[in-house]
């Protein structure tokens, strides 16, 4: 039986966060002392670690709520229930990934196009490109957005 600070240490999640998860229905302490102190069992620890792993994988707390309810009663759920949640997440991740990749490319082209020197920015090609809505090239090559 672990106290909240011990669970915090074991999982790397703060006690604040653990209480927050409890408030949101993700992880309860199986036991409480007479004074109300939370005490966590091994099973609780595993549940918290499941939550942490799922968070690292990108699932929202709402997703994780669903995954947890599958986890406690696997017989009443299908693999498809699980893949549905996972696939939905993958789509979200891919969408964000595409946005970020586009930003990355733009930023790299902007940096390539600019001297970055200490002379004044009167003719800075980054400023020019942003002014032109990125529609023009970086002065030499016609690649931005296009």
Partner DNA sequence: TATAAGCTTAGAGCTGACTCCAAGGTCAAT
Partner DNA sequence: ATTGACCTTGGAGTCAGCTCTAAGCTTATA
Kindly list the residues in this chain that would bind a copy of itself in the complex (CB under 8 A).
46, 49-50, 53-54, 56-58, 67, 70-71, 74-83, 86-87, 89-90, 93-94, 96-97, 100-101, 103-104, 106-108, 110-111, 114-122, 124, 126-127, 130-131, 133-134
Sole window of 26-34, 87-95, 107-115, 131-139 interacting with DNA (rule: CB under 7 A): 26-34
10 Å CB burial of residue 125 (0-12, 13-18, 19+) is buried
Based on CB atoms, which residue is closest to a copy of itself, 46 or 143?
Answer: 46
Structure tokens at 129: 């490109």
Based on CB atoms, which residue is closest to a copy of itself, 2 or 114?
Answer: 114
Q: Does 54 interact with DNA (rule: CB under 7 A)? A: no
Angle 130-93-137 from CA coordinates, rounded to 5°? 20
- Between CA 70 and CA 82 the distance in angstroms is 8
Q: Which of 30, 50, 55, 86 binds DNA (CB under 7 A)?
A: 55
Structure tokens at 50: 């499941």
**Beta carbon of residue 86, minimum distance to a copy of itself (angstroms, whole number):** 5
Backbone angles phi, psi at 135, to 5 degrees: -75, -20
Out of DNA, a copy of itself, none, what residue 55 binds, judged by CB under 5 to 8 A for its kind, is DNA
Per DSSP, the three-state class of 109 is: helix
Q: Does 49 interact with DNA (rule: CB under 7 A)? A: no
Backbone angles phi, psi at 133, to 5 degrees: 70, 25
**Beta carbon of residue 1, minimum distance to DNA (angstroms, whole number):** 11
CB contact at 8 A, 138 and 113: yes
């Amino acid at each position: 039986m672990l106290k909240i600070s011990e669970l915090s240490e074991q999982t790397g999640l703060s006690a604040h966060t653990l209480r927050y998860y409890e408030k949101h229905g993700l992880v309860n302490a199986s036991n409480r002392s007479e004074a109300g102190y939370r005490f966590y069992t091994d099973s609780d620890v595993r549940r918290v670690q499941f939550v942490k792993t799922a968070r690292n994988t990108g699932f929202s707390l709402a997703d994780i709520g669903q995954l947890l309810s599958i986890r406690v009663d696997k017989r009443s759920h299908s693999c498809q229930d699980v893949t549905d949640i996972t696939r939905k997440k993958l789509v979200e991740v891919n969408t964000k990934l595409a946005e970020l990749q586009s930003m990355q490319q733009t930023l790299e082209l902007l940096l390539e196009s600019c001297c970055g020197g200490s002379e004044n920015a009167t003719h800075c090609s980054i400023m020019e490109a942003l002014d032109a809505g990125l529609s023009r090239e970086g002065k030499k090559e016609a690649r931005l957005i296009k």
